Amino acid sequence: MAPFVLQFGKFSGRAIEAMMFDPEGYEFLRQYARQKETSGNVNFLRRVRGLLQKGENPEIKAICACGKKVVSVIGKYDNSGVSFSRFVCEDCAKKIFAAENEYPLKFSAMVQFKGSERRNFLFQLRQACGFKFGERITAQKAHDFFYPPKLAEQKVKPRQRELPWL
């Protein structure tokens, strides 16, 4: 399976997998997924919905200070909005300070933020998913994140037909 590139609208020429890492692109996909299925959009709509579902449980590569798998990021509101501080596991999330909030590391969590806060949260999510600081997320990198190449290699090869005379 290759990245799915849109051929219509504002995001024409962009892969839907890469749009997940863009606040406006994610919002577009989220809105599109609410449409009713018709004969013309059923396959695309199912792919978008499946991609959004994968975004609810992304592969997080960051590790908590205690060495466990990270599930959320800690944020604190101040005069300039939310400032994110550290990644935490489930156990460490129970030990946060009163002024701090826990935000799950999944794509749908970004809809609770606006403007620069949304971009900052997405930056944190990208870091937790293993992307380097400032790394450009290409269509192929985004596709490989949601559909790891290891899974693509495990496709079952069709059996060769045996010739009747053998």
pLDDT tens digit sequence for 19-70? 999 999 999 999 999 998 887 888 889 999 999 999 999 999 999 999 999 9
Residues 125 and 81 in one domain: yes
The whole model's pTM is what?
0.80
How many separate domains does the chain show? 2
CB 100 within 8 A of CB 106: no
Is 118 domain-assigned?
Answer: yes
Q: Which residues contact 4 (CB under 8 A, 6 or more apart)?
A: 15, 16, 17, 44, 47
For residue 141, what pLDDT is reported? 94
pLDDT tens digit sequence for 100-151? 999 999 999 999 999 889 999 999 999 999 999 889 999 999 999 999 987 5
Residues 96 and 120 in one domain: yes
Residues 105 and 134 in one domain: yes
Question: Rounded CA gap, 95 and 88, in Å?
Answer: 10
